[in-house]
Amino acid sequence: MLKQTVIFLICLLCSAFATAQKTIQIGFNNVDSFPYFLGKGEQLSSPPGISVDLINHVSAVLNLNINYQRMPGQRVLQSLKRGDLDAAFIFSYKESRREFGVYPMNDGKVDTTRRMDTLSYVLYRPVSSKLEWNGNSFEKLTGSLAAKLNYSIVADIKKAGVDVIEGSSTSQLFEMLDAERVEGVVDQEAIADAYLQKTQKKHFEKVKIPLAEKHYYLIFSHQFAVQNPYLIDTIWNQVAAYRDQIYRTRMPSYYGYLDTTN
């Protein structure tokens, strides 16, 4: 009888451990970056942003409990390095940044298939325009392009000998295109697509090949990675599996939150 009781208690204990949620401390920036994360300050915004939506979905699939912590970007990295955070997002890959955390890797290179998000700079034109970007240079461009002030892509376009008229907002860029002051607009794809969807400007289209793109990742602290190698691989794999689905289904709900001054 005693033996049966002990076995029963062990089974109950094992069952409790099996169903217990693992809590992961995840940090991200405390200023907004549409559509990846929204709002400012320490609290989650409502809605929180596509990147948070993706992590929430993956955590539900894997029965994880996520404790989000918002703070300045550099503090996020330092907290990750110390192990005060288990993970952080969204960070592009830099070799020097590997001292702060662990990226998904494959054969010694960062695994872009397991990225969280991609930031792309894309060319937009009137639907009747012959303006093209072939991946290396502009074709059929005889005038100027519009792009946002202080965007890194502006310097690259100017290096190619193209005149750029800089604006402070996406709406201003497309107003210039509407007024035929420029022949095309270069903007971040997620922001420009949301703006065009919201304003229903169907007389503009984007060129398929991006001018530049940068991938962003969920990275883990070295301490957490050593202790949970299987779990971090599983999380990255689930991010890859659900990323496009979450973006496709959730992004329309964010169009109403896009301030046209963006």
pLDDT tens by residue, 57-114: 999 999 999 999 999 999 999 999 999 999 999 999 999 999 999 999 999 999 999 9
Whether residue 142 has pLDDT greater than 50: yes
| pLDDT single digits (tens) 180-202 | 999 999 999 988 998 998 888 99
pLDDT digits (tens, 9 = 90+) for 189-248: 988 998 998 888 999 999 999 999 999 999 999 999 999 999 999 999 999 999 999 998
Q: What is the DSSP letter of 157?
A: H
User: Three-state SS string across 105-139, please?
Assistant: EECCEECHHHCCEEEEEEEEEECCCCCEECCCCEE
pLDDT score of 21: 74
pLDDT: which is higher, 253 or 196: 196
β-partners of residue 54 are none
Q: Can you give the pTM of this predicted structure?
A: 0.79
Examine the pLDDT at 12 and tell me if it is beyond 70.
Answer: no
**Among candidates 218, 216, 215, 222, which has minimal Cα distance to 101?**
222
Q: Which residue has the tokens 């060129």?
A: 207
